[in-house]
Amino acid sequence: MRPVKIVSDSCSDLDKHLREKYDIDYLRMKTIMDGKEQWASLDFEYYSPKELYDYIRAGNRVYTDQVPTAEFERVFGKYAQQGMDIVYIGVSDKQSGTVGAAQIVAKEMMDKDPDLTIHCINSLNACMGEGLLAIRAAGYRDAGMNADEICEKIMSERNNILEYTTVHNLDTLRRTGRVKASAAFFGNMLGIKPINIADAAGYQTPIKKVKGRYNSLCELVNLMKENVIAPEEQCIYIVHSDCLDEAEQLRNMVMKEIPFKESYISNLGPIIGGAMGPGSLALLAYGKEVTYKVAD
């Protein structure tokens, strides 16, 4: 059986520690700030988190671009040359065309090498939700599954990711066109905090609105408590954009209410962090199947 490499992308928010622990690589997207392109490094190689969020606080918008063809060829080619099959778990196709572009490159490579298998999976998630699926895939690989078996398992688990997020204010969502200017103005004035999820179709969508930052954190905990399965067997992941103190506060709230085995706090990467803005928080774990669809 051929060895398998698990690959994610810049939307997965897998930091260096997690990538090394689970032997996961990632495909780099790009950010554009003041007209300058940079790789969207999950290790913040080209700018620090503070520099990114200070740029946004100054009223600027971070533009992004999906993984370029040359990056697919570089990463997929690297492991194909080592005789490995590849399972790529990518950001939801409702948020980026990256998985579709990956499938084109993968087909071309497999046509040239009939022994090679590359699966490009639409995670239906973003943020650490995508990262959790990559970690789960790494576990299946280490248990001896081949690329086809890993793909089948991950495809069946995509809607079991609980991804609850909130933002500090609506300014960044307004700049990126996700919230109307009038709604952002009155929402900020009234202290309204949306609670977002990754729905069953892969859209990031608000399901609730609460008033006040503390209440928004409480709502994240309540939703997780209602829907998590077997927390004592898993880790709760908390990712943040330049608000570590509140991330630690959220962890304490979670661990007081839900008996998770362990917890992990890390930064939102530049793609997701750039879209959500400074002061954003996300709470993620495995749980009940997500069935809600924004279209419903």
Residues 248-260, mean pLDDT to the nearest whole number? 98
pLDDT of residue 295: 64
Q: N- to C-terminal Cα distance for the chain? A: 43
Phi-psi region of 251 (alpha: psi -120 to 50; beta: other; left: phi over 0): alpha
> Does some domain include residue 295?
no
pLDDT of residue 181: 36
Same domain, 137 and 8: yes
Structural domain that includes position 107? 4-158
Token pair, residue 16, equals 């260096």
Q: How far apart are CA 231 and CA 177, in angstroms?
A: 36
DSSP three-state, residue 119: strand
Same domain, 116 and 8: yes
Q: How far apart are CA 166 and CA 61, in angstroms?
A: 19
Question: Average pLDDT of the chain?
Answer: 91
0.85 cut: is pTM over it?
A: yes
Confidence label for 209 from pLDDT (cuts 50, 70 and 90)? confident
Phi-psi region of 178 (alpha: psi -120 to 50; beta: other; left: phi over 0): alpha
Tell me the pLDDT tens digit for each residue of 19-31: 999 999 999 999 9
Same domain, 141 and 231: no
pLDDT of residue 190: 37
Tell me the pLDDT tens digit for each residue of 68-125: 999 999 999 999 999 999 999 999 999 899 999 999 999 999 999 999 999 999 999 9
> Does some domain include residue 185?
yes
Same domain, 63 and 84: yes
Same domain, 94 and 107: yes
The residue type of 175 is R
Q: How far apart are CA 108 and CA 38, in angstroms?
A: 27
Domain count, the chain: 2
Same domain, 24 and 123: yes
- The DSSP element (H or E) to which 172 belongs, if any, is helix 171-175
Residues 6 or more apart whose CB falls under 8 angstroms from that of 11 comprise 29, 90, 91, 95, 96, 98, 126, 127, 130, 269, 271, 272
